[in-house]
Amino acid sequence: MTRDAVLDAVRSALAGVVVPPLPHVPASTVASDRELLAARFAREARAVGTVVHEVAAPTAAIEIVAGILGALPAPPRVVTWATPLACALATAAVAVVAGAALRVVDDGADAKGAVGSIDSAAADVGVTEADYLVADSGTLVLRAAGRARGVSLLPPVHVAIVTRDRLRVDLGTALADLRASGAHDSCVTLVTGPSRTADIEKKLVVGVHGPCALHVVLLDRAEA
């Protein structure tokens, strides 16, 4: 058995080796005041090219999303997660943009490449909802349960909606909270800015394989 051969080699290599203790990973000591966290998130996210829109109420968020859709060169085809906030905002925004079309991704059609009305790969905009925001690095944490990962990956524009209560100070805190929530997804994705590369002469180019633009709509509260 190859398995046993590898493990036997590991065991004999480690015979008599003393295991050093695990280090204590300290929890962040930074105060988690919402205002400070929001400001820090916005600063870090903008530094990597994310467009951050801070809005007080859902009505303002609809205007922001409609503005993003309306600024595109052609009436956009929009796909959105079926999560309540993303779905409600995308629906309201698409309704006020002439010619815009919407598909709520609530089944596995994307995965099979078969398409309902709009496939994520053909869509211009994907709307999602972040489970957490990491202030330290300007990062979105996206779960997979009940959602299609392709919505945040395939369209050239990604719009993520999130309320301020999802802000966490650092990655360790966000991941610990995610584990504590009992999440057991096949994939959790961290998104920090648009897709980027510097593989040619270290020149920064955005939009390699993933979205060329990332918008975060940061809501004070979900209810009007």
Cα–Cα distance list, 61 to 159, 172, 179, 202, 215 (Å): 11, 29, 29, 36, 12
* Footprint (CB under 8 A) of other proteins, residues 82-121: 105-108, 110-111, 113, 121
* Footprint (CB under 8 A) of other proteins, residues 1-30: 2-3, 5-7, 9-14, 17-23, 25
Q: Is 139 in the site for other proteins (CB under 8 A)?
A: yes
* Token pair for 96: 């006020």
Q: Which is nearer to other proteins, 35 or 201 (CB)?
A: 201
Asked if residues 218 and 46 have their Cβ atoms less than 8 Å apart, the reply is no
Phi, psi of 216 (to 5 degrees): -115, 120
* Token pair for 149: 């990962």
Among 53, 149, 166, 215, the residue binding other proteins under the rule CB under 8 A is: 149
Considering only the stretches 61-69, 70-78, 87-95, 142-150, report the one whose residues sit in contact with other proteins under the rule CB under 8 A: 142-150
Asked if residues 189 and 152 have their Cβ atoms less than 8 Å apart, the reply is yes
The Cβ of residue 122 has, within 10 Å, a number of other Cβ atoms equal to 13
Q: Is 211 in the site for other proteins (CB under 8 A)?
A: yes
Query: What is the smallest separation between the CB atom of 45 and other proteins, expressed in angstroms?
Result: 10
Residue window 35-54: x/- pattern of binding to other proteins, with contact defined by CB under 8 A: ---------x--xx------
* Footprint (CB under 8 A) of other proteins, residues 154-193: 170-172, 175-176, 179, 184-193
Q: Which of 116, 183, 122 is nearest to 150 (CA)?
A: 122
Q: Is 194 in the site for other proteins (CB under 8 A)?
A: yes
Classify 113 in phi/psi space as left (phi over 0), alpha (psi -120 to 50) or beta.
left
Q: Which is nearer to other proteins, 76 or 211 (CB)?
A: 211
